[in-house]
Amino acid sequence: MRNSAKRSPEERLLVIACGMIAREVLAIRDINGLDHLDLTCLPAEYHYYPDRIPAAMERAILEARESGYRHIFAGYGDCGTGGMLDVVLARHGVERVAGPHCFAFYQGSAAVEAIGDGDMMAFYMTDFLCRQFEAFFIKPLGLDRHPELVADYFGNYEKLVHLAQTDDPELDKVAVDAAKWLGLSYERRFTGYGDLPGALAGAAKLES
């Protein structure tokens, strides 16, 4: 068997993913021995600017094709693009993770269906968002300078749900403290990596 590390780009899989799931994609790669999987990421801040995702994805796909990659997979749900990401991916014959966003595919499609409208008023945090709570929420929203704005931004939420990919007490503490600070009830759900491992494993079965 040929060493995967020595495969040329045309024999490898490139995952173009949201920066918010980079750590998880690499963990799944290492756990499952997908050493022919390469990763490149679009900026995590596009979480706030989903209209930027389709064009950025198209540029990344074109650059990957120029580099010799034939096998490409998108590490995204629709992620608020209103179907425009799927238009780009269809144009280039690239598939993505099923589901509307990472909050859904981490929980798994069956779990999301079972929850139904139960999370309508939930504010989700993943492990990434726990690590980046200050950088992604506090500072950009100006809450460090104007904490009185918490009610304006989060007043329509009832609970904070930590969708935990790992068992990390430090991240749990961030989520608990965030819920208290935002005035929300708290719930922790251990999701692991949800549907993501299966999606990556399927994509990693390269066809000739």
Residues 197 and 186 in one domain: no
How far, in Å, CA of 123 to CA of 113, rounded? 18
The structural domain count of the chain equals 2
Residues 93 and 9 in one domain: yes
Under a CB-based contact definition with an 8 Å cutoff, are residues 11 and 28 in contact? no
Q: Tell me, what's the pLDDT at 5?
A: 56
Give bridge partners of residue 37 from the DSSP assignment. 13
Residues 182 and 199 in one domain: no
Q: Tell me, what's the pLDDT at 1?
A: 37
Residues 199 and 96 in one domain: yes
Tens digit of each residue's pLDDT (9 = 90 or more) over 77-110? 999 999 999 999 999 999 999 999 999 999 998 8
Query: Does residue 125 have a pLDDT over 70?
Result: yes
Q: Is residue 150 part of a domain?
A: yes
Q: What is the DSSP code string of 151-197? A: HHHHTT--EEEEEESS--HHHHHHHHHHHHHHT-EEEEEE-TTTTHH
Query: Does residue 41 have a pLDDT over 50?
Result: yes
Q: How far apart are the first and last CA of the chain?
A: 16
Q: Tell me, what's the pLDDT at 180?
A: 95
